[in-house]
């Protein structure tokens, strides 16, 4: 009989957010009248902005006309979008990233998981703990529970920032602003990682999906703000959270032309070339209409609407922070990120806190331990619900006898 990929048997029973959705569904079924407020999965609640909707309508109409209909597009993404991205997200900020270094995709979840396809199985991979579960699960799917995975433990003692590994590591996943802890990395801190990677000839997989939520101008929004990062880092960006594309699906990955890896016998190979080869073989590109919608995010109106959307969620983040501080709870994040990471009161473990918050306040969050064992005793709340629901959730928590 054929065999399966046994690495899958080493994964947790289900993906974290699927487990939570199941638990919440069970609770709702048992308590049909409960008005449940979801501050769990980081899914947006504001509708797409007018500039995006207008671009969608226009491009849908184009698809219905023989002269402007589009079939397969370029696998790397249409040039109109890659130029808009390179110009606005990088060149305007003095960062030298060209349109041909950008690969448009359907989500950072896919790209941060798929990137392993072009990396050798012998690499030692470092992953922070706690972590966005996709990096760990997809690494496990690929290489299994070998001795090739290093967990970089983050705790309140180090402000939930990882230490540079003191042993050989080939690849490290970094996500800043961080999911789940909402913490950010200063320029000095990020510079240390870039210097380390250049020295060690290691690769940084930098997930910047939440960069739009940074308001502190001193915090880097791209790893390429650091000199030399184009020789040691791949960056992932998403339209999901800043422009509300979670249901539309669009993201991009930057693989600089100068970035090289080596074969087992030391021959240098361009990662850009390999990712292009991988994408053109396994991916037929993001839908034309979605790319037109993403392009609209870069118009002056689209940029203004994006800033308003981000501002709305960050106002929610501030409300959550203020409410929890008033309650006397210890918390991190929520200042340059849409996630608030709190220490469960009374030394409760993460799942007990989840169950009690759901049962007693009808509020859903995400147990910190779901992001790794270092997250035990912590809990994540998102700022992505509506203002009204966020106010209500915080009022319930404030009144809660805890």
Which one, 202 or 366, has the nearer CB to ligand MLT? 366
Query: In angstroms, what is the minimal distance from the CB of 99 to ligand MLT?
Result: 25
* Region of 41-49, 64-72, 87-95, 197-205 interacting with ligand MLT (CB under 6 A): 41-49
Q: Which two tokens stand for residue 366?
A: 């995400």
Out of 24, 38, 39, 42, the only residue in the binding site for ligand MLT (CB under 6 A) is: 42
Q: Which two tokens stand for residue 379?
A: 């809990």
179 binds ligand MLT (CB under 6 A): yes
Query: In angstroms, what is the minimal distance from the CB of 57 to ligand MLT?
Result: 27
* Region of 39-47, 81-89, 222-230, 305-313 interacting with ligand MLT (CB under 6 A): 39-47
Query: In angstroms, what is the minimal distance from the CB of 109 to ligand MLT?
Result: 5
Query: In angstroms, what is the minimal distance from the CB of 155 to ligand MLT?
Result: 20
CA distances from 325 to 54, 177, 318, 342, 398 (A): 41, 21, 10, 10, 10
Which one, 208 or 232, has the nearer CB to ligand MLT? 208
362 binds ligand MLT (CB under 6 A): no
CA distances from 277 to 68, 273, 284, 325, 361 (A): 28, 6, 12, 50, 50
Query: In angstroms, what is the minimal distance from the CB of 114 to ligand MLT?
Result: 14
Q: How far apart are the first and last CA of the chain?
A: 56
Out of 24, 37, 41, 85, the only residue in the binding site for ligand MLT (CB under 6 A) is: 41
Nearest to 80 by CA among 248, 288, 306: 288
Rg (CA), the chain: 21
* Region of 40-48, 94-102, 254-262, 312-320 interacting with ligand MLT (CB under 6 A): 40-48
Which one, 132 or 173, has the nearer CB to ligand MLT? 132
Q: Which two tokens stand for residue 99?
A: 């349109």
127 binds ligand MLT (CB under 6 A): no
**Phi then psi dihedrals of residue 75, to 5 deg:** -60, -30
Query: In angstroms, what is the minimal distance from the CB of 267 to ligand MLT?
Result: 36
253 binds ligand MLT (CB under 6 A): no
Which one, 105 or 202, has the nearer CB to ligand MLT? 105
Q: Which two tokens stand for residue 256?
A: 């600089």
Query: In angstroms, what is the minimal distance from the CB of 21 to ligand MLT?
Result: 11
109 binds ligand MLT (CB under 6 A): yes
Which one, 179 or 230, has the nearer CB to ligand MLT? 179
Which one, 132 or 341, has the nearer CB to ligand MLT? 132
Which one, 179 or 336, has the nearer CB to ligand MLT? 179
381 binds ligand MLT (CB under 6 A): no
Query: In angstroms, what is the minimal distance from the CB of 179 to ligand MLT?
Result: 5
Q: How far apart are CA 392 and CA 149, in angstroms?
A: 42
Query: In angstroms, what is the minimal distance from the CB of 25 to ligand MLT?
Result: 17
**Phi then psi dihedrals of residue 35, to 5 deg:** -90, 90
Would you say 183 and 337 are in contact if contact means Cβ atoms under 8 Å apart? yes
Of all residues in the shown chain, the one whose CB is closest to ligand MLT is: 42
Nearest to 331 by CA among 339, 340, 320, 318: 340
User: What residue ranges bind ligand MLT (CB under 6 A)?
Assistant: 41-43, 109, 132, 179
């Amino acid at each position: 009989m054929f065999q399966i990929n046994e690495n899958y048997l080493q994964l947790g029973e289900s993906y974290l957010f699927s487990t939570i959705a199941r638990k919440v569904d069970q609770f709702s079924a048992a308590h049909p009248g409960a008005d449940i407020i979801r501050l769990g999965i980081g899914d947006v609640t504001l509708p797409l902005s007018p500039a995006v909707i207008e671009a969608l309508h226009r491009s849908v109409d184009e698809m219905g006309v023989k002269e402007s209909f589009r079939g397969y597009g370029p696998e790397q993404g249409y040039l109109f979008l890659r130029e808009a991205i390179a110009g606005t997200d990088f060149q305007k900020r003095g960062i030298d990233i060209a349109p041909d270094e950008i690969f448009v995709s359907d989500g950072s979840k896919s790209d941060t998981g798929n990137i392993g396809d072009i990396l050798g199985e012998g690499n030692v991979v470092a992953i922070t703990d706690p972590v966005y579960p996709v990096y760990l699960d997809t690494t496990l799917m690929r290489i299994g529970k070998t001795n090739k995975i290093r967990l970089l433990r983050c705790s309140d003692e180090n402000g939930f920032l990882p230490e540079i590994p003191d042993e050989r590591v080939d690849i490290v996943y970094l996500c800043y602003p961080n999911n789940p802890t909402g913490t950010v990395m200063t320029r000095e801190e990020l510079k240390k990682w870039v210097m380390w990677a250049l020295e060690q000839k290691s690769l940084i997989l930098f997930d910047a999906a939440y960069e739009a939520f940074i308001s502190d101008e001193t915090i880097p929004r791209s790893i390429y703000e650091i000199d030399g990062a184009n020789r040691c880092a791949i960056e992932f960006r998403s339209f999901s959270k800043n422009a509300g594309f979670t249901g539309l699906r669009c993201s991009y990955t930057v693989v600089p032309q100068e970035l090289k890896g080596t074969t087992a016998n030391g021959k240098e190979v361009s990662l850009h070339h390999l990712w292009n080869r991988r994408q053109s073989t396994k991916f037929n590109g993001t839908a034309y209409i979605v790319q037109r919608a993403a392009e609209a995010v870069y118009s002056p109106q689209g940029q203004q609407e994006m800033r308003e959307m981000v501002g709305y969620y960050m106002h929610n983040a501030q409300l959550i922070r203020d409410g929890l501080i008033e309650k006397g709870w210890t918390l991190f994040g929520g200042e340059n990120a849409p996630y608030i990471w709190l220490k469960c009161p009374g030394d409760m473990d993460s799942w007990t806190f989840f169950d009690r918050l759901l049962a007693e306040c009808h509020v859903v969050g995400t147990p910190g331990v779901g992001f790794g064992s270092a997250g035990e005793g912590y809990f994540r709340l998102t700022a992505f619900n509506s203002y009204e629901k966020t106010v209500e959730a915080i009022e319930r928590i404030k009144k809660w006898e805890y």
